[in-house]
Structure 1
């Protein structure tokens, strides 16, 4: 089996998603050089930081964290682009495994009851064929030993992608609506809400407001990336 894989790599080499150089044996997604250059966010405090500060006075967040800084140009943008638009769902696994290990090591998310993704509208899900958060969520679920629950929170309004919108335009958009199909599931539970990129937090805030229909719910937020302020 390994021989067939090695022969296949000769004709169809795996390339680094950032620099397009051939990946070496045991490298995946990124070459070692690009992996080393990832703009990681190393948080020491998960309750008071630049992620949780976004939601201050808007909605109640217990803890918050992101793995990478998102910039207009750079490795993070390449990873998210391939994940969302080129069906590279292995990127979600790559980030989820790595970030999940860091979160597990911190012991800050041991009391999470469910992991819930920001949902796609059914029309976008049909067009794309997958939710870019699925592999990320499943990887976190395995590492944190927490159930992944993707079908209780639904998106009931369709919007254009917001990843590359200007900050003001995203903050001004209030048309995205969500529906919690069963409010009793999350009663007295601690829910970890996950997304790909956080900029203004408007979408996550809308999700939180819907989740808060559950009695005595606690919400924390995890994202793959956080838009660096410029």
Structure 2
């Protein structure tokens, strides 16, 4: 199979060598890693300052238009390359599992897709990412309790005004008792204005005794 369909880098499309997986060494070296969770950087929390009470929050990478992270997220989200979610989930999961701040996590919850989008795409681009983090933290993964009520279009390339206008609360909770008193790690692919995360947190905070932390693959510059 490799003879006819040789593995190529998800970032630059160059051929991968035998010891490279998904991303070539050059692209891996160029990935704009944030190190937020190592440096106690509160950049993600600042996006949501005054709107959501978070325990901890981090993002693995910086996102910029036309950059390598955009290419990787496009491959994950629109081209069916779910292994990218696995790659990022194992990476971030391994880092968070060694940090005291994330030892109290009880469950990982992904930002859900609306059922119409899920049918069309066939998968939630955040699922593999969240599942791998849950494995690393040795906690449950719950994609049933948080439900999206309305389908919306992607937020990344909209203006700030358009994003805010299009991102009104659109989530609901089913079976609230499953998350009572838990420390939830909410995961998503990218945080831009924070409107989606805020909407999720607003309904999750209706559950008695919950605490919420956030982890995303990327944060928009």
TM-score category, normalised to shorter length: over 0.9
> 1:29-85: per-residue Cα shift (whole Å, max 9, x none)?
110110010000012354x61101111111111100000000001111011000000
1:192 and 1:130 map into 2 onto residues whose CA distance is 20
> 1:133-170: per-residue Cα shift (whole Å, max 9, x none)?
11101111111111110011000111112122223321
1:85 paired residue number: 78
Q: Out of 164-173 and 91-100, give the one that drifted further.
A: 164-173
2:44 and 2:55 map into 1 onto residues whose CA distance is 11
1:109 paired residue number: 102
2:113 paired residue number: 120
Q: Out of 82-91 and 164-173, give the one that drifted further.
A: 164-173
Checking the alignment, whether the CA contact within 8 Å between 1:18 and 1:34 is kept in structure 2 is yes
- Higher Rg: 1
Give 5+ residue unaligned stretches, structure 1. Answer: 1-7
1:54 and 1:146 map into 2 onto residues whose CA distance is 27
1:218 paired residue number: 211
1:167 and 1:33 map into 2 onto residues whose CA distance is 33
Match of residue 135, structure 1, among 128, 139, 147? 128
Checking the alignment, whether the CA contact within 8 Å between 1:159 and 1:176 is kept in structure 2 is no
* 2:220 is aligned with 1:227: yes
RMSD: 1.2
Checking the alignment, whether the CA contact within 8 Å between 2:168 and 2:195 is kept in structure 1 is no
Instruction: State TM-score, norm by structure 2.
Output: 0.96
The offset of 1:176, in angstroms, is 4.4
1:166 and 1:30 map into 2 onto residues whose CA distance is 31
Moved beyond 3 Å, runs of 4+: none
2:18 paired residue number: 25
Checking the alignment, whether the CA contact within 8 Å between 1:157 and 1:176 is kept in structure 2 is no
2:6 and 2:160 map into 1 onto residues whose CA distance is 38
1:221 and 1:50 map into 2 onto residues whose CA distance is 12
Instruction: State TM-score, norm by structure 1.
Output: 0.92
1:37 paired residue number: 30
1:153 paired residue number: 146
1:174 and 1:26 map into 2 onto residues whose CA distance is 42
Number of matched pairs? 220
